[in-house]
């Protein structure tokens, strides 16, 4: 019993376990946090604390004209407001060179698909309208159709639209010349005859003129679509030729080289 008090003479520092934080208890559970784990966690905490201090200092002492939010990829409007770029522009900016070419070719292909669909619709409508109007014109004056097209009898005309336009113009000119001759040479009988004939055929002529106007509009739209398709094809070939590796070809019996940029489509 006398030696029991001597154990406190020699000072011995007992290693005490570090207190476990509540959030660490929930994550780890019954296991205590060791020194190695605590060291890693403290280093991460100090790095994060230093970064937060630097960012807070920048926000406190920033120059609004120089360090504006997203000013690098944005634009300033007329009233000083910041115009941010769209999502598509941001995606396009982050793409690689090959990705930019691929996205551009995809856009051109989509436009060509729409143009092809419209061309098919216009061609079908033109076929129906030409078939109906050719029958009407041939009933009125078949001789004009053969002479205006410049082909022999029994053969089909090269272009139907020229037949329609020329036949109707010649008919209108012949009708006006006949009306003027009749009114100048003969008397009131011919004038009354032309008036009565004009009143009976007025509705049919108006319908025919309306059909011809529709036909001309369809032909104009067809030409516009053809021009647009050719422009899209040229643009696609140009983009492929720009970003495709050039081929160097040797000339026979010569030291010169020819650089070729192929324009075929990418497979």
Helix, strand, coil shares, percent, the chain, to 5: 70, 5, 30
Q: Which residues contact 266 (CB under 8 A, 6 or more apart)?
A: 105, 240, 244
What distances in angstroms separate CA 35 from CA 21, 32, 38, 241, one per listed residue? 14, 10, 5, 63
Cβ neighbour number for residue 167 with a 10 Å cutoff: 25
Q: How far apart are CA 77 and CA 60, in angstroms?
A: 25
Q: What is the dihedral of CA 24, 25, 28, 32, to 10 degrees?
A: 100
Show pLDDT as tens, one digit a residue, over the chain (267 residues): 556 677 777 777 666 666 677 777 777 776 677 778 888 989 999 999 999 999 888 877 776 655 555 555 567 777 777 677 788 887 887 888 888 888 889 999 999 999 999 999 999 988 888 887 765 545 444 433 343 444 444 444 444 444 444 444 444 444 445 454 444 444 444 444 444 444 445 566 777 778 778 888 888 889 999 999 999 998 888 888 777 765 566 667 777 666 665 555 555
Q: How far apart are CA 248 and CA 260, in angstroms?
A: 6
Extents of the domains making up the chain: 22-62, 98-260
Q: How many helices (H) and strands (E) does the chain have?
A: 8, 4
Q: In the prediction, which pLDDT does 166 show?
A: 42
- Phi, psi for residue 82 in degrees, rounded to 5: -90, 125
Task: Note if the pTM is more than 0.75.
Answer: no
Q: Which residues contact 237 (CB under 8 A, 6 or more apart)?
A: 263, 265
Q: How far apart are CA 183 and CA 190, in angstroms?
A: 6
């Amino acid at each position: 019993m006398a030696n029991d008090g001597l154990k406190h003479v020699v000072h011995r520092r007992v290693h005490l376990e570090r207190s476990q934080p509540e959030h660490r208890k929930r994550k780890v559970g019954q296991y205590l946090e060791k020194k190695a784990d605590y060291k890693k966690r403290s280093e991460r905490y100090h790095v994060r604390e230093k970064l937060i201090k630097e960012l807070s200092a920048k926000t406190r002492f920033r120059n609004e004209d120089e360090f504006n939010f997203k000013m690098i990829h944005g634009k300033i409007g007329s009233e000083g407001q910041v115009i941010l770029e769209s999502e598509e522009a941001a995606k396009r900016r982050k793409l690689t060179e090959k990705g930019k070419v691929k996205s551009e070719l995809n856009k051109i292909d989509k436009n060509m698909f729409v143009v092809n669909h419209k061309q098919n619709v216009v061609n079908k409508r033109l076929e129906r309208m030409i078939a109906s109007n050719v029958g009407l014109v041939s009933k009125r004056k078949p001789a004009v159709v053969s002479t205006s097209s410049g082909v022999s009898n029994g053969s089909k005309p090269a272009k139907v639209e020229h037949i329609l336009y020329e036949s109707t113009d010649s008919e209108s000119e012949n009708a006006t010349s006949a009306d003027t001759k009749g009114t100048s040479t003969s008397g009131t009988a011919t004038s009354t005859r032309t008036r009565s004939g004009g009143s009976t055929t007025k509705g049919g002529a108006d319908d025919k003129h309306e059909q011809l106007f529709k036909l001309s509009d369809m032909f104009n739209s067809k030409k516009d679509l053809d021009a647009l398709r050719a422009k899209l094809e040229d643009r696609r070939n140009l983009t492929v030729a720009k970003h495709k590796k050039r081929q160097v070809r040797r000339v026979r019996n010569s030291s010169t080289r020819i650089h070729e940029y192929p324009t075929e489509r990418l497979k």
